[in-house]
Amino acid sequence: MPTIALVNGHCFGAGVFLAIAHDYRIQNPSKGFLCLPEIDLGAVIPSPFQQMFKQKLPSPAVFRLMALEGKRIPGKDAFEMGIVDGLGGLEDVVRFAETRKLTAKAKQGVWGSLKEDMYHETLETMNEEGFHRTLTWREELERQKFEEKENALKKIEKFERSQAKL
């Protein structure tokens, strides 16, 4: 069935994950922000959620603004950027569903199948096998970066010792 997230205030981190997972989003126009603060917290956004953002946000530039800059995006801006589909409250969500005839479309019985095809890349990263694969990839990448950093520090230390002898 179609789902609509009503963002009626601040929507940060995992709240954004949940809102973006919906088919549509309506945000309060006068209070609250959408924000991925992970960059400021030193946290990595899990790969399955990054895949979902890549598929559901309107552009790579919007994803970059949210993920790499931690931009706090008010409702009006989120609507103009295409992150949310409308502005308002609960009455507006009901009107949105009625205007788009979402209840009738759900009765056709193919809504879920169409979404599975639309977002199969995201679904593949979220199943147990895909999640394990991306987790293993991330852990190996972090291990390699740590080793490279350690080797670079050893080279710097060796260089500094050789310069001290001069």
* pLDDT per residue rounded down to tens, the chain (166 residues): 899 999 999 999 999 999 999 999 999 999 999 999 999 999 999 888 899 999 999 999 999 999 999 999 999 999 999 999 999 999 999 999 999 999 999 898 899 899 999 898 888 888 888 888 888 888 888 899 889 999 999 999 988 888 888 7
User: What pLDDT is attached to residue 166?
Assistant: 76
User: What pLDDT is attached to residue 48?
Assistant: 87
Among all chains, which residue has been given the structure tokens 């991925």? 36
The pTM assigned to this predicted structure is 0.79
